Amino acid sequence: MSLLHLEGVTRTVERPDEEPLTILHGIDLEVDSGDRISVVGRSGSGKSTLLNILGLLDAPSTGRIAIHDRDVRTLSSAHRDRLRGSEIGFIFQQFNLLPGRTALENVMTPLLYAHGASFWRRESIARAMLERVGLGHRLDSKPDRLSGGEQQRVAIARSLVRGPRLILADEPTGALDLETGEAVMSMIDEVATDTGAALVTITHDPAIAARATRHYRLIAGRLFEGAEMTDDAAETPTVAVAP
């Protein structure tokens, strides 16, 4: 059973006073448990748009997306939201932490929506997750007292605290220096390995992309497999083989 399966996915957006814009063309992608996938591509190539579709935040305009072999269109929006909450963890370049809340409170937030967890249970799960990312000593710190790398680790703990099967990371190290970025990526990798989750990472950084085992490049909304392909190579007509 595949975790996530995209078939012929396109995404077209309406624009006021302009022709509709097709951002993604004919995307086929299968994601299985334990996969490590990287997606690189120029700014504007459609990476975040693709990630939003993988995360069930946006629907394809045409084509099909299935999660655990169920066509997402057949799910009610409430069911889809529940699945997203329990199965998918998002990590963004901007940490998006709640500013007035402590690290522990931030990590507890997603557990509010998990059924059957008492306050104390939620607190102990969140505490363990913060310890897991090396922040057991900063539980009561608010984001403005944490470094960028620490804030990203809190954000990672919050994304992963419900044990998602799929981790989607959009430029997770974009706001961090090289060394902190490497440490943060290792942490995401480790948690994904421990839990058997799949990890899809969007990045501009070749060193981060190299950590993946399947490499893709988006070029003007089309997805190409392979690490070696460059944007320029794919733009010459003889190499551009996408439908």
**Least distance (Å) from ligand ATP to the CB of residue 207?**
17
Q: Please say which residue, 44 or 196, places its beta carbon nearer to ligand ATP.
A: 44
Does residue 109 belong to the site contacting ligand ATP (CB under 6 A)?
A: no
Binding of ligand ATP by 41 (CB under 6 A)? yes
Binding segment (CB under 5 A) for Mg ion, from list 43-51, 72-80, 87-95, 228-236: 43-51
DSSP 204: S
Nearest distance from residue 54's CB to ligand ATP, in Å? 12
Which SS3 state, helix, strand or coil, does residue 28 take? strand
Q: DSSP of 30-57, one letter per residue? A: EE-TT-EEEEEE-TTSSHHHHHHHHTTS
- Residue 48 in contact with ligand ATP, rule: CB under 6 A: yes
How many Å apart are CA 191 and CA 206, to the nearest integer? 21
- Tell me: does residue 240 bind ligand ATP (CB under 6 A): no
Q: Which residues of 183-216 are buried (b: 16+ CB within 10 A; e: fewer)?
A: bbbebbbebbeeeebbbbbbbebeebbebbebbb
Could you tell me the smallest distance in angstroms from the CB atom of residue 221 to ligand ATP? 7
- 44 belongs to the binding site for ligand ATP (CB under 6 A): yes
Q: Least Å distance between CB 179 and ligand ATP?
A: 23
Span 190-219, contacts to ligand ATP by CB under 6 A: none
**Is 12 one of the binding residues for ligand ATP (CB under 6 A)?**
no
Q: Which stretch binds Mg ion (CB under 5 A): 40-48, 84-92, 96-104, 176-184?
A: 40-48
Q: Per DSSP, which regions of the chain are E strands? A: 4-15, 18-31, 36-41, 62-67, 70-71, 88-92, 166-170, 198-202, 214-219, 222-225
Q: Select the residue interacting with Mg ion from 2, 48, 61, 109 (CB under 5 A).
A: 48
Cα(215)–Cα(38) distance, rounded to whole angstroms? 5
3-class DSSP state for residue 123? helix
Closer residue to ligand ATP (CB): 110 or 221? 221
Residues at the contact surface with ligand ATP, assessed by CB under 6 A: 13, 15, 21, 23, 41, 43-49
